[in-house]
Amino acid sequence: MNAQVNVVRKPSMERAFREALVDPSVKAKVRDALVSRFLSGQMGLTIDKIDAAIKVLSLVVSSERYMDYLAYGSQIGAACHCARAGMGECGPGR
């Protein structure tokens, strides 16, 4: 029996940039938003380029606290019939 294993990778800005540089649909946008010295590791990303870099990669920055909130909210659901009926929260272990 072959079990399929889903690997969850931690987000990496470096990996996102490198993958974007080989994607023909965004490669030119990345090059325009950044300088070649940054890509070769000779220069850091200047503060005025951070927003452009994140935007061109279609990434979104969020806080861990917000992601925890979303995870909790998805456990009970926005239309939780239990809570609406006064029977407490739905979700695992309840």
Judge whether 76 and 91 are in contact, CB under 8 Å.
Answer: yes
Model confidence at 84: pLDDT above 60: yes
Q: What is the pLDDT of residues 34-74, one digit of tens each?
A: 766 666 676 677 767 777 788 888 888 888 888 888 888 77
Residues 71 and 26 in one domain: no
Task: Give the SS3 label for residue 34.
Answer: coil
- The confidence score (pLDDT) of residue 93 equals 61
Total tally of structural domains belonging to the chain: 2
Residue 34: both structure tokens together: 């950044």
| Cβ-based neighbours of 53, under 8 Å, separated by 6 or more | 13, 17, 30, 33, 34, 45
Residues 86 and 68 in one domain: yes
Q: Which domain holds residue 89?
A: 62-94
Predicted TM-score (pTM) of the model is: 0.42
Residues 4 and 23 in one domain: yes
Residue 75: both structure tokens together: 């456990």
